[in-house]
Amino acid sequence: MGDEQELELSLEQVEDFEFRIRFDGTAIRDLVTDESPPQGHDAGPNPARLLLAATANCLAASLLFALRKFRNTPAPLHAKARGRIARNAHGRWRVAGMEVDLQLADSAASLQNLDRVLAQFEDFCIVTESVRAGIPVAVRVRDGSGNEVHTTTPDDGD
């Protein structure tokens, strides 16, 4: 594998703020996006929701990768993500922050090298580490008992 990968997609306006996204060169089904009323009709997620979903998905996949790297076979993970939309200094709407809670089904004690897993999994996440350059992203991981086993605040991100 080279040092770079290229991703390509096509966007086509369907109606008003509704768009169809085609993931060129793949077998991935098209995705419809739309804005919420009054601009759109909620026919699909809007770009801010997609960004939030991509961030949460990437973090969950990165945590799974790191757990498996240390020979763990974790039960299914769950994630809950919240985004905050606020106006910037120029009065424009921006994604002002995100919080992602990752839920392990297993107890912390049953996972091998969990301290090492938690120290490195966020660094594997392409989306979060890219987004952090402009959007604060907080991350929490809880084990199967609900105990918080990892927290990263936006100040910890780098």
Residue type, 80: K
Q: Are 68 and 76 in contact (CB under 8 A)?
A: no
Instruction: State yes or no: pLDDT of 156 exceeds 80.
Output: no
Encode pLDDT of 50-105 as tens digits: 999 999 999 999 999 999 999 999 999 999 999 999 999 999 999 999 999 999 99
> Which letter, b or e, does each residue of 115-145 get, where b requires 16 or more Cβ atoms within 10 Å of its Cβ?
eebbeebbebbebbbebbeebbbbbbbbbee
Give residue 157's pLDDT: 47
Instruction: State yes or no: pLDDT of 1 exceeds 60.
Output: no
